């Protein structure tokens, strides 16, 4: 018989207090991403940036450093990141929608040409690769023609399962005139059909 676990309210409360203190004493993003430009080290962890990142760290800015120079803290302006420009051909940017509040900003995200409808807080504001899109280039920067995605309907079976299907056809005397393929539409639709059948139930 399994031993019943005793409820220890004092230990549970002590655990919550430790978690709260750890959460309260955790370093802020401004402390985590602070940088000494002379030694190129993080004061908090004493880690040194890679040599290839020195030029970008000296020449580029964090998001809040860009917005604080603009009227109304850049509300309505478009910002992007250097890493996005390198990694994706589709436009990726934020449109600033709300003023900064204690080192934070909110906006609408467009990632790889898809725009989110809800406004949310901008993350990674302490990174050094933020760039402001000039106003006269915003229209051309946001212009994007989506490429239709290719949908795959059929996929080949794994080798062992394919051999089993061919052996079954040969046993049943069926002519093997085509390659056995997986119909993805039937595979994706079957769970929905089972759920509808289960919800409908069996008439009594």
Quick one: DSSP state of residue 41? B
Q: What is the mean pLDDT of the chain?
A: 81
Measure the CA–CA gap between 83 and 80, rounded to whole angstroms: 9
Mean predicted confidence (pLDDT) in 185-199: 61
Phi, psi at residue 156, to the nearest 5°?
A: -75, 150
pLDDT for the residue numbered 122: 86
| Among 35-49, 82-96, 188-202, the least confident range | 188-202
Closest Cα to residue 93, out of 36, 163, 143, 43?
143
Angle at 33 between CA 29 and CA 38, to 5 degrees: 150
pLDDT-derived band at 204, boundaries 50, 70, 90: very low
- pTM listed for this prediction: 0.55
Percentage of residues in the chain having pLDDT higher than 70? 85
In this model, does residue 25 exceed pLDDT 50?
yes
């Amino acid at each position: 018989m399994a031993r019943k676990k005793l409820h220890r309210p004092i230990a549970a409360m002590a655990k919550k207090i430790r978690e709260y203190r750890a959460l309260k004493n955790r370093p802020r993003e401004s402390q985590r991403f602070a940088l000494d430009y002379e030694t190129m080290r993080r004061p908090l962890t004493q880690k040194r940036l890679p040599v290839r990142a020195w030029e970008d760290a000296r020449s580029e800015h964090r998001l809040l450093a860009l917005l604080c120079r603009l009227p109304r803290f850049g509300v309505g302006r478009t910002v992007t990141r250097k890493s996005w420009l390198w990694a994706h051909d589709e436009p990726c940017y934020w449109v600033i929608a709300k003023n900064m509040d204690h080192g934070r900003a909110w906006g609408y995200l467009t990632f790889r040409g898809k725009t989110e409808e809800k406004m949310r807080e901008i993350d990674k504001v302490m990174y050094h690769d933020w760039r402001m899109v000039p106003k006269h280039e915003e229209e051309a920067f946001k212009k994007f023609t989506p490429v239709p995605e290719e949908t795959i309907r059929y996929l080949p079976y794994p080798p062992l399962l394919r051999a089993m299907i061919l052996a079954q056809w040969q046993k049943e005397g069926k002519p093997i005139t085509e390659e056995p393929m997986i119909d993805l539409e039937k595979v994706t639709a079957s769970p929905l059909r089972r759920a509808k059948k289960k919800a409908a139930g069996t008439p009594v």
